[in-house]
Amino acid sequence: MALVTDKKGLVLARIPGTSVPLVHTIFGASAFILALFIGCYGHYYKIVKNGVAGYPDEWFPSVSATTGDWYPERNICQIFIALASGPRLGLCYLWYLLTIRNVPADGSKGFAKFLLTNDIVRTIACGGWVYITSSDDHDIHDIAMIVYLLCTIPHVVGTIKTAPQNPKAQQYRKLFAYTFFGALIPMVYFFIQHNVHRIPGAYTYYAFFEWSLIFSDLAFDAVCLIDFETFEFRVVDIGMGGKREGNSSALNDLKTYGGSEKGVGAAIGSIKPFEIISFAADVYLGFVFWSMLTSLPLMIWYFPLWHMGISGYEAFLFCNVTAGLLGLNFLRRGIERYKGIVHLLSLVGVLSYKIADPAHRLMAVAAGVSLSLLTWGATFFGQRHQNGRAERGVLTLALGLILHNVVKQAWWANNPIWPIMNENTGGQNMIGLVLGVLAAVQVMLRKEPGTDEPQTIESHKKGESWLLAAIGGGGYLFCLHSMFTDSTTISRWSLGGYPNTGPQPVPGGLMVIAAMAMGLTLSSKRRWVTSLIWWAIGTAGLAVLHFNEGDIGFAGGIVFTVYALSLFPALFRSLSRQPPGRTFLLAMLVYNFLALAHVWVVAYAFVPGGEVMRERTDYVLIAMQTCLLLGIFNSNSSAWTVISEAKARSSFNAARVYAKLSLVGLVLASIGVCYNRLPKSTPQPHHPEHKLITAGIWTIHFAIDNDMYSSELRMRDVIRDLELDVIGLLESDLQRIIMGNRDLTQFLAEDLNMYADYGPGPTKHTWGCTMLSKFPIKRSTHHLLPSPKGELACAIHATLDVYGKEVDVIVSHNGQEEDLLDRQLQTTELGRIMRESDNPFLFLGYVVTTPGKGQEIYELLMDGGHVHDIEVSDWDRWCQYLAFRGVKRTGYARVSHGGITDTEIQVGKYQLLEDHPTSWDRSQSIEDFKKEETYAQISEHQVPEGLRFPSMFYGEGVRKHRFHVFDRPYYYA
């Protein structure tokens, strides 16, 4: 190359700008590709083997196994990563120069500096997990990997937002970004299948997604080849007649494709710390709104639960009709002007957890819900004429809903600021209240974006109807409340018996939250999401969810989740464009009607006219989808024209940037929650040395204690202290509006380290029954017992792997005293199930009858099932019973409920012994069968320590739990 001279000196070399990303890509890709080929050639069987299985179940190696365990592939990878590190750091610096080149004169360069710092930390973290393998130091390796992934989010989003506006490059960047983050969800799923469920072959599928992350990452950075085509590097000898120019810099010589001081620079310049705080405050207030809205029916439910029927407090559901007051112009304008103050006043719903009296607490929550609804309604209506603000308000409310799901996921389906929570039940009410006050104060002090801008001119067709908008809005609010205020609702709707349970809350909840984020992202495609085709796709997904169990049903639920969240801006904006008084009033009435119907389908035995809605969830879903269709049709009937200034568009674009960053952060937070909730060990029974099974039954009244506080922590404590290996929990299906869409099963199972069978799900219209077990569940069947007249009864028939032998367990909740025919049919069916099994059997159930000979229901259970009552002399029983066959009974106790419910805990201890008969002769008469079991009691000092009940329950007991009725346990020889 010929040497030339420019004004700065002798140019020794000219290097194309594309050389840096090209060298980085070649070295980076070579590091992993060479390691893969060399590893497969030299150590194939070793690198595909893991702690669960080896070849042929596992046949493709993971990245960590390939690059971290064996010579020479590990060393080859590290050498090429070292070669790639220089170009990588150079790429970071060059992108920084490119970024500040596009920032306008009055814009902030702080974001460019932040991005440079982030990318340098990310590069160092990459070196951390490459050079410190998991076999060297597992913790440091994992920390470096987590830091790398955390830094990848601002790296990807920041690069896309600061890139020159080259459509081709941006298209590739977005493609590789979607493939990178999209691969995280199935990767986590297969990791859980491998690490938790220990399924052979799952790690191979995990490995494919892990490798895809590597190549998506490299491909994303390689797109810089397109951006750097238009500039070059020069090596100049400034001593050869050149001179320095104080006012010139390399930055001024950069020429980029499409570079200008407008465009992205304007968008980046609009991202200011105060605006981020303002946006975060609105999102948090949205979270508070969803928290109070979901707590209201939950608190109302407390009263009919104890009254066993209509209590009168149900009227508080209609507190939301106060939204009709928005039709008063002076009130609406006053709320809009002073909405920070009204937000502050609405926090009485959060503060209400301090009120001891349940009725007064409910009143405070109802007041908070009313004020919050008025504030958000006034906000939407008031912002419709102000540029960029209406969309921002809708986005923050939607993000508040997703935040609500993530927070509930972190608290095992409870919300830490609900009024049923307090410092004794795991709540963080005071922290939530303080954050709410700060957010409300921020709203009071800030200057609202768009108030100094010209009015947006909007026009619409006369065909748009307030009536259809109200119906659509009310139906949509019900849809969100009933199905998307907890991330586990979809998985519980689709669950079946073992092994076809579908995804568990971890990782099912993560998938739902990611689908919600995806749906909200798609909402910008307004023509598509409000089309009839999209509605049909969403309806099909809902139908698949409703009519199928397991993975297929869950997949339909994910489709419906994406569909539902994509409608958020369209339907809420349509609602806000109508006359606010009558529109919001009718919307709330539609929501209330659907909410009551949603309750009536399961509570039909306790409400007037309930038989009309008995077990008709399909009616409710059809009505809901019809409402959505009408709302969509109405939204499409309008042709909106928005004329606004550049500043307004910038405000709107900034809100979209914040929203996208928030979505990424929320999904990442959900990933962190799931990782934190992974089981650390395999469940183990309490006394395997005696081959002991300690089993119990308990009716828990929906995990709301006698003082209207959450009872999961207290339940966990007594189950742990009683050393229960198997327990049946009745009235445990909380996935309904009136129970707060909660899920006590996941908390108890994870905290107590037990396997769980949730039992028949919400679409089966029962009050629920759950089984927790320290023993693996080999298979299970969910039964809906015959109920021609009264409430539908549920049962779980499970086969457990108990010390290497199969033992069957039934957990059941039968009907009430008023319906004799139901109880006869239900108990007959339970007897048939037990009688037809050859395995040892444990019955843990709720059967309303007086015990003893001559009692029809009692004999249908014991004689019909060929099982022994745990204690025939215990006459003081009415609804809960323990029975057994094929195991040796060693103990029986009744433990008081401790104020958690109105029903005691019954516990039996059994041994599975080699010399004890575990099967029964079908030709044997019931009289001969009964003679086999003796009831000889022995004193406690004759019982080995490991077979005894804990002594803490004697006398006054612990936490109000004590041995009662006999005031001591019974032990048997």
Residues recognised as catalytic: 813
Task: Tally the C-alpha atoms within 13 A of residue 626's C-alpha that lie toward its C-beta.
Answer: 8
Helices 138-162, 167-195: crossing angle, 10 deg rounding: 160
Whether the upstream peptide bond of residue 507 has omega within 30° of 0, thus cis, is yes
Crossing angle between the packed helical segments 505-522 and 646-676, to the nearest 10 degrees: 170
Residue 9: its H or E element: strand 9-16
- Sign of torsion over alpha carbons 169, 171, 172, 173: positive
Identify residue 427 by its one-letter amino acid code.
G
Choose among 150, 284, 187: nearest CA to 514.
187
Count Cβ atoms within 10 A of the Cβ of residue 298 and give its class: 0-12 exposed, 13-18 middle, 19 or more buried: buried
Edge-first strand listing for the sheet containing 777-785: 777-785, 793-802, 805-813, 841-846, 880-885, 868-869
What is the C-alpha to C-alpha distance for residues 401 and 394, in angstroms, rounded to an integer? 11
Strand partners, 233: 15
Cβ-proximal residues to 249 (8 Å cutoff; 6+ apart), any chain = none
Q: Rounded to the nearest 5°, which phi and psi values hold at 793? A: -105, 145
CA distance linking residue 347 with residue 433, whole number of Å: 7
Query: How far is Cα 114 from Cα 121, in angstroms, rounded to an integer?
Result: 11
920, 886 contact by CB (below 8 A): yes
Angle at 559 between CA 558 and CA 565, to 5 degrees: 85
- Helix, strand, coil % over all residues of the chain, rounded to 5: 55, 10, 30
| CA atoms of 951 and 963, how far apart (whole Å) | 10
User: Nearest 5 degrees, angle CA 633-CA 639-CA 644?
Assistant: 135
Q: How many CB atoms sit inside 10 A of residue 952's CB?
A: 13
- Give helix 617-636 / helix 580-603 axis angle, nearest 10°: 160
- Token pair, residue 327, equals 């039709």
Spatial CA neighbour of 773 closest among 743, 792, 737, 799: 799
Tokens 């809009």 label which residue?
A: 336
Nearest CA-CA partner of 826 in 786, 883, 784: 786
Give the helix ranges, DSSP H, for 102-201: 110-131, 138-162, 167-195
For 283-339, give the secondary structure using H, E and C: HHHHHHHHHHHHHHHHHHHHHHHHHCCCCCHHHHHHHHHHHHHHHCHHHHHHHHHCH
Angle at 850 between CA 823 and CA 757, to 5 degrees: 55
Residue 183 amino acid letter? A
**Shortest CA distance to 664 belongs to which of 207, 177, 23, 300?**
177
Residue 502: left (phi > 0), alpha (psi -120 to 50), or beta?
A: left
Residue count of the chain, please give it. 973
Structural contact between residues 865 and 826, judged by C-beta atoms closer than 8 angstroms: no
- The Cα 125–Cα 106 span in angstroms is 34
CA distance linking residue 485 with residue 665, whole number of Å:
18
Which tokens sit at 481? 């409340």
What is the DSSP secondary-structure string of 225-252? HHHGGG-EEEEEETTSS----TT--HHH
